[in-house]
Chains A and B, each alone.
Chain A
Amino acid sequence: MKSVESGDLVEMSWDPVTRIVGSLGIYTKIDFAAKKVVECYSTSSIFRGYSIFMQNKDPRDSHFITSRICGICGDNHATCSVYAQQMAYGIKPPPLAEMIVNLGEAAEYMFDHNIFQDNLVGVDFCEMMVKETNPGVWEKAQKAEAPHAKDHGYRTIADIMHALNPFEGEFYRETLQVSRYTREMFCLMEGRHVHPSTLYPGGVGTVPSIQVFTDYLVRLTRYAEFMKRCLPLHDDLFDFFYEAMPGYEEVGNRRVLLGCWGSFQDPAVCDYNYKTMGDWGRAMYVTPGVVVDGKLVTNDLVDINVNMRILLGSSYYEDWADSGETFVKNDPLGNPIDKRHPWNQTTIPKPQKRNFADNYSWVMSPRWLDKRTGDHLALDTGGGPLARLWSTALSGLVDVGYVKAPGDGSVKIRLPKTATKPDTEFTWRIPKWANTIERDRARTYFQAYACACAYYFVERAMAEVHAGRTATFTPFKVPDEAIGCGFHEAVRGVLSHHLVIRKGKIANYHPYPPTPWNANPRDTYGTPGPYEDAVQGCPIFEENGPDNFKGIDIMRTVRSFDPCLPCGVHMFDGEGKILEQHHAPMFGANHGPGGPK
């Protein structure tokens, strides 16, 4: 092992970061003596070009096409595209169709958070991994009684970690199975996973029989029963990390800059009219919002929309600000629309060598302009759930019985009685930090949130069927000229689709999923993207030195955002290279941190 003095920076990279969706590389410089990450660069290695090949296509094809953007939350895209189309076509689906979409999306949250949490993220907290990276923590885990053992059946924290071992672990295998019947719930509503076949602008093709809702409900009760064990299990595990490693709250900690675009429409309020978007946005069963330093800046979707900006800076594209067409000068309310807004974006790919001192990623840098300060904020999604719960708690608007945001900084989630467990209420409270552990913890709570909402939606859907209101589709004509936008929450966070129709065809289409918000590189102002920001300055708790360094604290941090690139983050692994002792962020010029070893 090399002797490492303070100020020596070692380049470490992880490329590809596995157990995520998509290709991501994370490149860092680490000060091992100070046990701290000094710099981080996030890069993605795939470009496909949806915005380009969608031009001139029939706008009714856009949800089928955009679903294919993502292989784990494609249906979130299809749903968001349908929202944008409904605005452009001036229609709203029948209430039963809206409930079917809500039930499909609830199943997606239940499935996707579940498989990610316990089959992908969970491996970072399993016995195999903890023994390898922190033998001292494993020692403590064996002695640590699990406070909620009676709820989940595991006596010690080590027992929980053992159950999370990949494939061998009992809880790992159980959650794989849970991920299957939740996907069956999805298929009952939307036909197939992950690219749905029954979703259309105007409604759904799903035949609303008593059978489909009963089949859904019965599986839902199994999930509720599972969550009554799963949630206390994760609370025990995450609390243990704070106790076992004092200071762990600093891992992945970032200024609170959260965005949530809202989820689950209320058909009684939502009419897809842009002019009333602020009102129906606030009626969503997950409240949209921008949260800065713990304060709610806005929960108005119009505000959220108008202030979106897409910056370049370190990505492989040509700027369009001077050359591209301005498709939308003003929104339907008369607000001016910026040239760097998604409605006016022109995507011009410029493939080139990767250079960490210049351009190093296919991901652009979305920002939200805070009018109060003029800052282009690098909002993150907290992996999705953290921003959703935070925003919903601050607005205090949601009350569906099973889920309630009383306005006191909490969200109350009640799961009804199931086969062997009583009616149970869980309370999520706004945490002290937007850090790795709290992003992960919020995910589990949001699984319960989606489950509780699904009880409400299935009851409303059944009531429609019982009342004989079984229409699921509203016919429409595609207008010659129109614009539309859709706002939704993909599983891992904010999702928007912006659509411009001219001569009945797509003239411009720009989707903004959560991962561009989270995984982006340094923007034109030099502001790092959220992964980069959360990893830079991150303390290292791993007990290994540079020779057999796994980067577990960094990996946990990156995964806490639930990366879903069909993109990437790179960092160096194993025997690193000691750089000159300086603090300038040059990453070895053209070679980048992935350079010679």
Chain B
Amino acid sequence: MKAPEMIIADRPPDIKEIHVVWMTTGLSCDGDSVSITAASLPSIEDVLMGAIPGLPKVHLHNPVLAYEVGDDFMQHWFDAEAGKLEPFVLVLEGSLPNEKIKSEGYWAAMGTDPDTGQPITTNEWIDRLAPKATAVIACGTCATYGGIHAMEGNPTGAMGLADYLGWGWRSKAGLPIVNVPGCPVQPDNMMETLLYLLYQVAGLAPIIPLDDQLRPQWLFGKTVHEGCDRGGYYEQGDFAHEYGSPKCLVKIGCWGPVVNCNVTKRGWMDGVGGCPNVGGICIGCTMPGFPDKFMPFMDEPPGGTLSSGIIGAYGRMIRALRGITNRTVNKEPKWRHSGHNLTTGYEPKYYGRN
């Protein structure tokens, strides 16, 4: 692969146009499409209206935002299948059901097959479009790993995109599936990843760095706990025992110490909100093991008693010592006073009082 060009605002991109074909008809709630309308870094209009330097013209085909309806809208899907939308990034939102476990009907579908009059299943669309896409993004925890609809006891056999296509799957350009988990996806995480891939497809960025769960490394390399503004309470062994407390939440259900997610650093929107920062326990919604491995959500995570017990003894001591220091630093130095003598240590020569 040739080395990527530098992004230069004044240089027109080699690729003039690029399409984003965004499917919401996995088993989803459309929460990820709604989420991207909340993004501001970049916003959807920044990307579509050409505000970002170096990008080709981007055409978004997403059912929540599309101007077109029905067959006019579906035409883009048929065009993508026929190789008329080149190049395109395929985005899947929602988990894929298992359509093989029943004799007829469908769990999830979009559009109608002109030959049979029956709905075209979402899985069929993935079979048709994935081989034609330059890059494929699984957006949100349902699409990445199965998520809530793949919970134990589910009737549809739901799974993530990589479970369906295979974890070693590669696009025609040699790219693995890119997973951006989150339930829903954090708005800026998704738009930033999409922007990176658009640059990459345009030849302006090197191959996206992913971890072994196919997540962008720079977004999911750290745990919730490592970025949490309540981490200091943990260090001091100071734990909340009831919701509404500003202290560390690990004893009332927070899984932050073992969950890969940057929400505590990034907040939810433009730095506002988040989970533990605001007072919400982390239920592990970005993780492949979500939701089953984190349920019941409101209980202390197993192993939490041990680790918080160990930190407890150390933390109490640290807290006591810091208490002393804290009292000290809460007092102003003694030379700040309104008395008649200067006691700062400076020895004036010309104040006329010596």
- Residues of A in contact with B (beta carbons under 8 Å apart): 13-23, 25, 45-49, 52-53, 55-58, 60-61, 64-65, 68-72, 74, 97, 115, 119-120, 123, 128-129, 166-167, 173, 176, 179-180, 183-184, 186-188, 190-198, 200, 202-208, 215, 316, 349-354, 470-473, 475, 550-551, 555, 566, 570-574, 588, 590-592, 594-597
Contacts and interface: CB of A to CB of B under 8 A. Distances in A.
A474 B244 CA distance: 10
A119 B69 contact: no
A571 B70 contact: yes
Nearest to A22: B30
Contacts of B343: none
Contacts of A25: 112
13 contacts: A16-B25, A18-B73, A21-B30, A23-B108, A46-B109, A47-B107, A64-B283, A72-B34, A166-B67, A206-B244, A351-B104, A352-B104, A566-B29
Contacts of B203: none
Interface string B29-73: 111111101101001110011000000000000011111111111
Contact of A48 (B24, B117, B156): B156
Contacts of A204: 243-244, 279
B281 interface: yes
Contacts of B269: 180, 183-184, 187, 193
A19 B104 contact: no
B257 interface: no
Nearest to B39: A180
Contact of A128 (B28, B67, B280): B67
A217 B27 CA distance: 37
Nearest to A128: B67
B298 A197 contact: no
Interface string B233-259: 000000000111110010000000000
A59 B114 CA distance: 45
Given A194-B34, A194-B184, A47 B156 contact: yes
B275 A192 contact: yes
B153 A53 contact: yes
B278 interface: yes
A205 B243 contact: yes
Contacts of B66: 18-19
Given A49-B155, A69-B29, A202-B243, A353 B104 contact: yes
A473 B253 CA distance: 15
Nearest to A565: B30
B102 interface: yes
B272 interface: yes
Given A19-B66, A71-B30, A191-B268, A198 B154 contact: no
A48 B27 contact: yes
- What is the size category of the interface that chain B forms with chain A? 35 or more
Given A23-B25, A205-B243, A17 B249 contact: no
A550 B268 contact: no
Interface centre among A215, A352, A555 (most CB of B within 10 A): A352
B268 A192 contact: yes
B160 interface: no
Given A47-B108, A188-B272, A595-B117, 17 more contacts: A16-B69, A18-B70, A48-B158, A49-B156, A53-B155, A61-B291, A68-B147, A70-B29, A180-B270, A184-B269, A191-B268, A191-B274, A192-B280, A195-B285, A570-B70, A592-B112, A594-B117
B70 A13 contact: yes
Contacts of A167: 45, 48-49
A303 B252 CA distance: 38
Contact of B117 (A23, A120, A350, A590): A590
What does DSSP make chain A's interface, helix, strand, loop or mixed? loop
- Closest 4 interchain pairs by CB? A197-B280, A71-B31, A187-B273, A351-B105
Given A128-B67, A206-B244, A596-B117, A570 B156 contact: no
Contacts of B71: 13-15, 572-574
Nearest to A72: B34
A46 B155 contact: no
A53 B110 CA distance: 24
Given A192-B268, A574-B71, A354 B118 contact: yes
A184 B278 CA distance: 12
A65 B184 contact: no
Contacts of A119: 37, 65
Contacts of B40: 180
A118 B24 CA distance: 21
B227 interface: no
Nearest to B150: A53
A430 B284 CA distance: 47
B92 interface: no
Nearest to A206: B279
Nearest to B115: A596
B41 to A, nearest CB: 11
Contacts of B149: 48-49, 53, 68
Given A555-B69, A570-B112, A473 B104 contact: no
B119 A60 contact: no
B251 to A, nearest CB: 13
Nearest to A471: B244
Given A60-B297, A68-B29, A597-B114, A205 B244 contact: yes
A48 B151 CA distance: 11
B304 interface: no
Contacts of A120: 64-65
B263 interface: yes
A541 B277 CA distance: 53
B156 to A, nearest CB: 6
Contacts of B270: 180, 184
